[in-house]
Structure 1
Amino acid sequence: MPPVLVCHDLTFSFPSGEIALEELTATFTEGFTGLVGRNGAGKSTLIKLLAGTLTPTSGSVERPERIGYLPQDLVLAGDRTVASVLGIGTVLQALARVDAGDGRLEDFEIIGDDWDIEDRVRAELAAFGFSDLDLDRRIGTLSGGQVVLLALAAQFLARPDVLLLDEPTNNLDGPARDRLYQAVRRWPGPVVAVSHDRELLELCDQIAELRDSAITFYGGNFSAYTAAVATEQEAAARAVRTAEANLKRQRRELIEAQTKMDRHNRYGKQFAEKSNMPAILAGAMKRKAEVSQGKLRGGHEADLDEARKQLEEAEERVRDDDRVRVDLSATSVPGGREIVITDDLVLRNGVEVDLHIRGPERLALTGGNGTGKTTLIDTVTGAVPPRSGRVTGYVPIRLLPQRLQILDPDLPVLTSVSRLAPGADDNTLRARLARFLLGADVITRPARTLSGGELFRASLAGLLLAEPAPQLLILDEPTNNLDLDTVAALTSALRQYRGALLVASHDRPFLDEIGLTGEISFTAEPPPGRFARVEALASSAE
């Protein structure tokens, strides 16, 4: 396929001197490319360099003239109108003047071939779920998800040569995600999307993995990528085992050769002494033997060095695929035990709730943005009072909020976690934190200096290791802004968690992987205050 974007020795350094990308060379082609990599790998930096919103420290980017870019943190002035965001405000004003009989020559030039612009805009907005959206409406009155879809609709109207998306599904609810998936399917040109959304990545034609300032392309969607990486890792593991065996053999052969040389020297010396060999002849034989032995030793040592090199190269191809492995037996609750019961509960937004959690149930909170999921979480945890009724919790409850306000940002991680678990000594906590993939170099640093993945694992560890151990764990959109490796670590930890779970999330693959037993679904527009609880899929309380 023809190239669309080409990076030549691309390097970018922040003013602090930190290098985000170094001498990256890559070519993006037609089709839909998913850009993946760990948090901190430089994905968002690269997409900004591709879009031209950042200037490289060195190197260059070849790009088409018209680039469409939807940033991760989309910030638009709330007083802008829908028409302004869609980029049609000037055309609409010109059309209005012409319809009123006040049109001038420049108005006809502005309109060009866009006499039907309103009809085309209405059709495009309908495709994104905006059926009767007033073009003069201020976007400050729209939800965050609606603004993202509106900005994407603007790109569809502009039809740039290439579309760049940075985590486009973050903070979108299920229906909004579905509309975005449909939009990407019908986009006619090339797309490059930074994403950890596996449903979106399943639509890709190829996956570009950014790792150590280098990009590797894998043909096919995310499933094909994971299969290819698994095959690569199996081969890399075999190569390591082969290299380790070769290194052991070379070491053994060097020892055997050294032993033979020592024995030969000893016998030679004894022979020279017993045969009264002239000193000059004995010296010549000794020098000859030393030369031969040096060559032999040098050959074995060279083979040993080569074996070490091969092992290092093989180990470099093996990824750090550690998973969280912890003992969370203290979180266990027996089937049928009461966890949370509500009595005539009405949330502050007017939604009536009838909630009864028992045993180690794993319940998903699903529904559109603004329907009451976070309000229910805040009410269960006691952060906000209900309008009426009450919530009774029978076990220790812990919440992992979206913004991870668990650890003191200015204290070392170990210190913050020890405050949550005062009965555990530092050595015990160090061992437990290591099982969350948090080594000594991480837990001795202030929380504010951690990477996104490190902070998430440290916050999760703080909650799960807290005293008393949480027997109901509540998570609010836990996979937002997490890379795929961190999502895997979270999934691994939750599989080992033995208490009850209440998880608000739009990430369906994640919900499927943690073993739900039921679902609480909020409707987009609940009738005077009800939401329906879906029957448990396999209630553990039975």
Structure 2
Amino acid sequence: MQAHSSTHVSCTALSFSWPDGTPVLDGFQLAVGPGRTGLIGTNGSGKSTLLRLIAGELAPAEGTVRVSGDVGYLPQNLVLDTALRVDQALGIDVRRAALHAIEAGDTREEHFTAIGDDWDVEERAHAVLGQLGLGSIGLDRTVGEVSGGESVLLRLAALLLSRPDVLLLDEPTNNLDRYARQRLYAAVGSWPGVMVVVSHDRELLERVDQIADLRDGEVRWYGGALSAYEEALAVEQEAAERMVRVAEADVQKQKRELADAQVKLARRKRYGQKMMDNKREPKIVMGARKRAAQESAGKHRIMHTERLDDAKERLSEAADAVREDDEIRIELPHTKVHPGRSVLTLRDLRMPYGSGVEGEFTAHGPERIALVGRNGAGKTTLLRTVAGLLEPVSGEATAHVPLGFLPQRLDVLDDGLTVVENVARNAPDAGNNLIRARLARFLFKGARADQPAGTLSGGERFRAALAALLLAEPAPQLLMLDEPTNNLDMASVRRLTAALDSYEGALIVASHDQPFLESVGITRWLTLGEDARATPGTGPSRWTS
């Protein structure tokens, strides 16, 4: 499919609020032309909501969304029916069945109608699956037989096969290993039509043509990829900070001039009063002089006050142009574990779905272990088994200290409860005021802490789940995170990295985000291989690609 200049997305005077009244967009305007657009912004700014509005999954309260052509949409939290066959997930099952029927000699008209002009549907399907590294997945297998990362690629394959005019991708690299990410990067790089991708993946955002920065309900456009955007933003911010310094100096100057004027006026007043007291001039002349002085003083004071107010307004405008993006500020509880203490033992562990750890594996003290491997290797299964959510087939997985587990799906929250209520469930002895004070460090201040969990954005949900985990009593001395950076903007990833630096317990992180893993001071790498054996490693060289 060739991109046409007419292919675009436009949003006009768009307004949308959640059922509880929380506003997301108000009078929003957007026009997207051909090419690949990276949509960025802080967590909760409305990126995923905007994609859902464009895809038609949500209806705006006011305004219009217009799209030229067909829309393909890959949501952030993809759920595919595990009972579906792969060809059904790809949307080609009817055409494929008709093709096989004709090949078997059944020449009824309905089969030809079903196929239309798509006689090479199977070849195209195999080609797209091969392009995404899914060539070994047969069309007759079920979705339940593929990993979470493979199911994301499978949904992307379905979109590529349907050849939409506009492709919307919401955090598409979440849950993908390095190999799968490279496949997705290549697919994005070769996309010929209109694409809007929401992501915090730096490598992916280096493959877009322009950046749309969604902030305070408005979009600002920057030509080029992420690095060009960051350079332009740095120049903007430097200029904005310079304007703040100029405006601050002007405010101080106006304050001094106002103070000087008031001193001079006070002196004049004292002099005039002295003249009246000494009766050196006729009373009528002194009265006229006093009225004139008061009028002049009033005008002088008003002039300097207005100048000061103007200077303060310019300072406020300059300050508004300087970004102070809220970031997670976490004070992790004191969870020190001495180096010699065992925190976890795995012994001849066989887990559901065929993966396992042979022999004995022990984690000690404040170790930081990266759990890596290809999609489907069993990383999530291992963490869920250690957390007690799955029963091992044989062997044992024993935690010797209090543990906390933050799963990929963030399903530790009760959607019907507020953020405060979710945290209170895990810390029943902590008072409401204490919980609210702690939640403020996770950016849930005031009414935000009373939002139902079911209305939170992906990034907000991560913060709420992390708060419920870390503010629990007792605090976890073994912290297990499954793909923790999936739903975080780049500022929050940096802050999470800084916060984990202060954590004194043992840490096990399953992640495909290698820069993040290296930034949190990993001391050991545990690679789950295709032979279902865990192989301890000593560094990123053990990474499977």
- SS of residue matched to 1:149: helix
Q: Is the 8 A contact 1:334 1:360 kept in 2?
A: yes
- SS of residue matched to 1:147: helix
Question: Which stretch has the larger CA shift, 318-327 or 406-415?
Answer: 406-415
Distance 1:378 1:147, change over 3 A: closer
Taking the aligned partners of 2:149 and 2:245, their CA distance within structure 1 comes to 50
Question: Which stretch has the larger CA shift, 376-385 or 206-215?
Answer: 376-385
Q: Is the 8 A contact 2:355 2:378 kept in 1?
A: no
Is 1:478–2:481 an aligned residue pair?
Answer: no
Select 2:535's aligned residue among 520, 532, 537.
Answer: 532
Taking the aligned partners of 1:5 and 1:342, their CA distance within structure 2 comes to 52
Is 1:69–2:73 an aligned residue pair?
Answer: yes
Distance 1:326 1:97, change over 3 A: closer
Taking the aligned partners of 1:78 and 1:345, their CA distance within structure 2 comes to 26
Unpaired stretches in structure 1, ≥5 consecutive residues: none
- The structural deviation recorded for 1:336 is 4.9
Cα displacement string for residues 320-368 of structure 1 (whole angstroms, at most 9, x for unaligned residues): 3354555558333454554334344444546134322234221111123
Partner of 1:156: 160
Q: How do 1:82-231 and structure 2 match up within 5 A?
A: 82-96=86-100, 98-103=102-107, 111=115, 113-139=117-143, 141-231=145-235
Select 2:356's aligned residue among 337, 351, 355.
Answer: 351
- SS of residue matched to 2:161: helix
Q: Is the 8 A contact 1:418 1:429 kept in 2?
A: no
Partner of 2:379: 373
Q: Is the 8 A contact 1:442 1:450 kept in 2?
A: no
- SS of residue matched to 1:103: coil
Is 1:256–2:260 an aligned residue pair?
Answer: yes
Letter in 2 for 1:351: G
Partner of 1:498: 504
Cα displacement string for residues 207-230 of structure 1 (whole angstroms, at most 9, x for unaligned residues): 211112200122232333334434
- The structural deviation recorded for 1:74 is 4.0
Q: Is the 8 A contact 1:407 1:413 kept in 2?
A: no
Q: Is the 8 A contact 1:326 1:496 kept in 2?
A: no
Q: Is the 8 A contact 1:233 1:317 kept in 2?
A: yes
- The structural deviation recorded for 1:306 is 0.8
Taking the aligned partners of 2:22 and 2:92, their CA distance within structure 1 comes to 41
Q: Is the 8 A contact 2:420 2:436 kept in 1?
A: no
Is 1:24–2:31 an aligned residue pair?
Answer: no
Distance 1:186 1:232, change over 3 A: same
Q: Is the 8 A contact 1:205 1:220 kept in 2?
A: yes
Q: Is the 8 A contact 2:69 2:166 kept in 1?
A: no
Q: Is the 8 A contact 1:11 1:24 kept in 2?
A: yes
Partner of 1:287: 291
Taking the aligned partners of 2:140 and 2:9, their CA distance within structure 1 comes to 36
Taking the aligned partners of 1:102 and 1:537, their CA distance within structure 2 comes to 56
- SS of residue matched to 2:229: helix
Distance 1:282 1:415, change over 3 A: farther
Is 1:405–2:412 an aligned residue pair?
Answer: yes
Is 1:332–2:336 an aligned residue pair?
Answer: yes
Taking the aligned partners of 2:264 and 2:53, their CA distance within structure 1 comes to 62
Q: Is the 8 A contact 1:413 1:446 kept in 2?
A: no
Q: Is the 8 A contact 1:340 1:356 kept in 2?
A: yes
Q: Is the 8 A contact 1:72 1:168 kept in 2?
A: yes
Taking the aligned partners of 2:389 and 2:497, their CA distance within structure 1 comes to 26
- SS of residue matched to 1:331: coil
- SS of residue matched to 1:355: strand
Distance 1:399 1:56, change over 3 A: closer
Taking the aligned partners of 2:344 and 2:102, their CA distance within structure 1 comes to 64
Is 1:56–2:63 an aligned residue pair?
Answer: no
Taking the aligned partners of 1:184 and 1:481, their CA distance within structure 2 comes to 20
Select 1:515's aligned residue among 506, 518, 521.
Answer: 521
Cα displacement string for residues 227-285 of structure 1 (whole angstroms, at most 9, x for unaligned residues): 44344334333333332332232222212211211211121221233244223222222
Partner of 1:487: 493
- The structural deviation recorded for 1:84 is 4.1
Distance 1:104 1:507, change over 3 A: same
Partner of 1:41: 45
- SS of residue matched to 1:188: coil
- SS of residue matched to 1:489: helix
Distance 1:396 1:452, change over 3 A: same
Question: Which stretch has the larger CA shift, 25-34 or 126-135?
Answer: 126-135
Select 1:239's aligned residue among 217, 239, 243.
Answer: 243
Question: Which stretch has the larger CA shift, 412-421 or 190-199?
Answer: 412-421
Letter in 2 for 1:511: L
Q: Is the 8 A contact 1:207 1:219 kept in 2?
A: yes
Taking the aligned partners of 2:333 and 2:19, their CA distance within structure 1 comes to 47
Is 1:298–2:305 an aligned residue pair?
Answer: no
Distance 1:501 1:97, change over 3 A: closer
- SS of residue matched to 1:60: strand
Letter in 2 for 1:255: A
Distance 1:437 1:41, change over 3 A: closer
Cα displacement string for residues 354-383 of structure 1 (whole angstroms, at most 9, x for unaligned residues): 322234221111123443223322343444
Distance 1:387 1:414, change over 3 A: closer
Letter in 2 for 1:283: G
Letter in 1 for 2:278: K
Question: Which stretch has the larger CA shift, 201-210 or 268-277?
Answer: 268-277
Letter in 1 for 2:29: T
Q: Is the 8 A contact 1:340 1:391 kept in 2?
A: yes
Aligned residues: 534
Letter in 2 for 1:517: T
- SS of residue matched to 2:334: helix
Letter in 1 for 2:54: L
Q: Is the 8 A contact 1:365 1:504 kept in 2?
A: yes
Taking the aligned partners of 2:183 and 2:194, their CA distance within structure 1 comes to 19
Question: Which stretch has the larger CA shift, 394-403 or 265-274?
Answer: 394-403
Taking the aligned partners of 1:8 and 1:412, their CA distance within structure 2 comes to 33
Q: Is the 8 A contact 1:324 1:492 kept in 2?
A: no
Q: Is the 8 A contact 2:149 2:177 kept in 1?
A: yes
Q: Is the 8 A contact 2:426 2:468 kept in 1?
A: no
- SS of residue matched to 1:330: coil
